[in-house]
Amino acid sequence: MGWEALGLWGADAVRIEPLAGGSSNDVWSVRVGGKLAVGRLGKRSDADLAWEAELLQHLDREGLTVPVPIPTTDGRLFADGLMVITYMEGGPPRTKADWRRVAETLRELHRLTRGWPQRPGWRSSTDLLDAETGTRIDLAAMPPEAVARCRAAWARLVGRERCVVHGNPNNPGNVRITAGRVALIDWDEAHVDVPDLDLVLPHNGADLVGEAYDIAAQASSAWEAAVCWDDDYSKERLAEVRAIPAATDR
């Protein structure tokens, strides 16, 4: 049905202009019920969209500032790959103080989602110590030496508690800050994993030091190398990942 599905949100629902969106969606500003909102049209499965919608509603109820799904006139949270969500005001984080606020928000996200079920079709970084595929990741497409380096980095996360991670919070475009709140947007990469992957931020906003920073940075670089393979960016991230021989014998 495509964007024709927007009519399910009311006869006055209309697209306004395209927005920079996630990797899996065509994103537009829309007007629904006389209010500005955001429409995202993609090819994600109903199960995937239901997982995201439930997560965002949960976080909103718990007091986190996130875009929440606006129902169709018959009460559905998405239809034919289209989800309409609330518009988030604000600008990107710029200073160390801003990024510290982002880190605080991420840690609250992690606290609120301990034990959350995995996003359909996804695998965590530690799952990929044994598995080869998960959504956008296909380790079989990477050189064996690169896979060994990534797995060595992820092996250092084994045994840590898992929760929902945003997946791409170090991109300033995925954060909207005002004086009173921090909003995380663009949940395309959200899944259940080890929280360290979210905490490698500009200005070291999470204030990680020593081994804690090294573990998080190595695991994060390995994840981005694998999920983006094989463009120039992924190869740059892989170059940051060193081999740890003792962890590659799995």
pLDDT of 18: 94
Region at 199 (left for phi over 0; alpha for psi -120 to 50; beta for the rest): alpha
| Confidence at residue 113, expressed as pLDDT on a 0 to 100 scale | 98
Give pLDDT tens digits for 236-250: 999 999 976 654 444
Residue 134: phi and psi, rounded to 5, are -175, 105
* pLDDT higher than 60, residue 167: yes
Phi, psi torsion values for 27, nearest 5 degrees: -115, 130
User: What pLDDT was estimated at residue 247?
Assistant: 45
- pLDDT at position 179 is 95
pLDDT tens per residue across span 72-104: 999 999 999 999 999 999 999 999 999 999 999
* pLDDT tier, 192 (very low <50, low <70, confident <90, very high otherwise): very high
The CA–CA distances, whole Å, from 207 to 16, 54, 65, 166 equal: 40, 31, 22, 18
Query: What is the per-residue pLDDT for 76?
Result: 97
**Range from 2-6, 22-26, 52-56, 223-227 carrying the lowest mean pLDDT:** 22-26
Beta bridge partners of 164: 192
**Above 70 in pLDDT, residue 228?**
yes
CATH of the domain spanning 2-86: 3.30.200.20
User: Distance (Å, rounded) from C-alpha 87 to C-alpha 10?
Assistant: 17
What integer pLDDT is reported at residue 1 of this predicted model?
A: 75
The fraction of the chain above a pLDDT of 90, given in percent, is 92
Three-state DSSP at 41 gives strand
Model pTM score: 0.93
In the prediction, which pLDDT does 249 show?
47
Q: Class for domain 96-247, per CATH? A: alpha beta
195 conformational bin, left if phi > 0, alpha if psi -120 to 50, beta if neither:
alpha
Residue 22 pLDDT greater than 70, yes or no? no
Q: Domain spans of the chain?
A: 2-86, 96-247
Q: Name which of 70, 116, 88, 56 is nearest 174 in CA terms.
A: 88
Percentage of the chain exceeding pLDDT 70: 96
Residue range 108-135, pLDDT digits in tens? 999 999 999 999 999 999 999 999 998 8
pLDDT, tens only, 179-190: 999 999 999 999
Q: How far apart are CA 135 and CA 143, in angstroms?
A: 19
> Within 13 Å of residue 208, how many CA atoms lie on the same side as its CB?
22
